[in-house]
A and B are shown apart, each in its own frame.
Chain A
């Protein structure tokens, strides 16, 4: 058969495409459950992390998560976790960063006075600049911090944690003004929603 023949070319391309696409479909099918499982574990870890609840491993996290309720509080969907007379809340947040959506969970104490923690599940900020929001020091600074007038402020100084305790001020990222401002706006919007919803309940 002539290899340069038009019919052969079409046939060959079709066969090769078919074989490869079929193989990919199989690989995709085989791993689909695992990918779904990873996604769930990640969500569970993120919610607990945002509430400042400590866990040992994935199994432990899933166990703890069984006690987390999803509640509707004045029309706002929240995660609620009651433990040792303490009530913790977390909300899934999302908003526009410089490039794309930033998503994660924001934890807050029932009295709305302090944040419990912040996690970032998804973002697509520039690597090395805004992308540094996914570094632990950035997220850790939201651990159990007092809010001033129910808001946070993003400072311009870059450091390894907030620099005045309980001032409601957090470190932004040098060279990534837009991402820092976007984070400030997203967090404040969601804080406002949460405090309104929680306040209305009590």
Chain B
């Protein structure tokens, strides 16, 4: 089985816009809705997700293709992937703490949230199903992270306005947020017309 011949630039573009991991694949919703109340936290979490996604997609690719496949242990991939993600988050937390205490204040509190962010595990599972090469995996991980970051920043900005508007009592909070996300999802699909022929 040879890897699919998928161009990296459309892949990056598609993973950020047209098939945004959050808006088209619904991944990473839990923290997305609870954190997007606040712009600054959204920014911090978005940055952290992008970093972790980029690194774990590369690492999980290596683990899957260099360790699990040769040993015939593909069926254990769920456990291995989640362990790799959890360890990666721990390591990043320690490194950031040592290297830049200032950055740690911005990112630190969000890192533990990331282990249970479905987007991270989701991307690792997609890499395996789609048979990406190492390079494609990195690009897809990066693109998905950037897409997630962009989506949460936009939603945080919209929510600020919406919260002041006259919303029916029962729709306040999660209800109106979910519907807002729906409109964003429609807008993002509209980017499809811009995607160059691949």
Contact = CB atoms under 8 A, between A and B. Distances in A.
Interface of A: 20-21, 24, 28, 95-101, 124, 126-129, 175-178, 181-182
A21 B192 contact: no
Contact of B131 (A20, A101, A129): A101
Contact of B24 (A20, A28, A124, A126): A126
A181 B10 CA distance: 13
B193 A178 contact: no
30 contacts: A21-B76, A21-B79, A24-B76, A96-B4, A96-B5, A98-B14, A98-B198, A99-B6, A100-B4, A100-B6, A100-B126, A100-B129, A100-B130, A101-B4, A124-B130, A126-B19, A126-B24, A126-B25, A127-B24, A127-B25, A129-B24, A175-B189, A176-B192, A177-B195, A178-B10, A178-B14, A178-B18, A178-B192, A178-B195, A181-B198
- Report the interface size class on chain B: 20 to 34
Chain B interface, >50% SS class: loop
B129 A124 contact: yes
Contacts of A126: 19, 24-25
Contacts of B14: 98-99, 178
A177 B192 contact: yes
Q: Which of B5, B24, B126, B192 has the most CB of A within 10 A?
A: B192
A20 B155 CA distance: 41
Contact of B75 (A20, A28, A124, A177): A28
Contacts of B193: 177
A69 B24 CA distance: 42
Contacts of B75: 24, 28
A182 B5 CA distance: 11
Smallest CB-CB A-B distances: 4 pairs: A100-B130, A96-B4, A101-B4, A96-B6
B132 interface: yes
A182 B198 contact: yes
